[in-house]
Amino acid sequence: MNNKTLFLVGGALILLLLFYLIKIPVTICKVNNETFIIKNKNFQIEWIHSVEKEKWIEKYKRENNKLVLTNTILKAFGAGTPYNAKVINNNNESIELEINRKLDNINLIISKEIKTTIIIDKKEISLYKIFEPYTEMEIYVEKLNLINYYRKESLYEKFSGERYRKCR
């Protein structure tokens, strides 16, 4: 082998090693023994509250190795309302509360009755139209190396566009 070939092979091996060693935090959605990623740092979960029968929206962001529930938007104070949250917006249509609570994971039950939906970059994924009623979904942060990051399927890419319309 000449020096140029050795240099190229060595460089490729170092690059491949870096792709395995460099890990980045990613939001993982695990459902039915499948895992999908949410590439965006921010996402929302929307559902109809079982007691109030009103829409609730929870805003989340990935921060290091945790999920942070930043804000909750609801129609009125009632069952399940965080009692110590700061009101940051209160109008005739909704109340927005600042929560800033760090979580290790979120356990969701997908249901047609409560219309479980994830919103990523202002695009809705109606989970209740895709999965069987009472399917469980766990959302958490995991560090993936770059190889696995690019191999994982995005939740949005999997269930949007033509594929999503076919699931409806």
DSSP symbols for 18-72: HHHH-EEEEEEEEETTEEEEE-SSEEEEEEE-TTT--EEEEEEEEETTEEEEEEE
> pLDDT tens for residues 96-148?
999 999 999 999 999 999 999 999 998 999 999 999 999 999 999 999 988 88
pLDDT in tens, 142-165: 999 888 888 888 888 888 753 444
| Phi, psi at 3, each rounded to 5° | -65, -35
Residue 82 pLDDT more than 90?
no
| Cα–Cα distance measured from residue 55 to residue 33, given in angstroms and rounded to the nearest whole number | 29
Please state whether beta strands 34-38 and 153-154 pair in parallel, antiparallel, or not at all (unpaired).
Answer: parallel
Distance in angstroms (rounded) separating the CA atoms of residues 79 and 58:
15
How many H helices and E strands in the chain? 5, 12
pLDDT digits (tens, 9 = 90+) for 34-49: 999 999 999 999 999 8
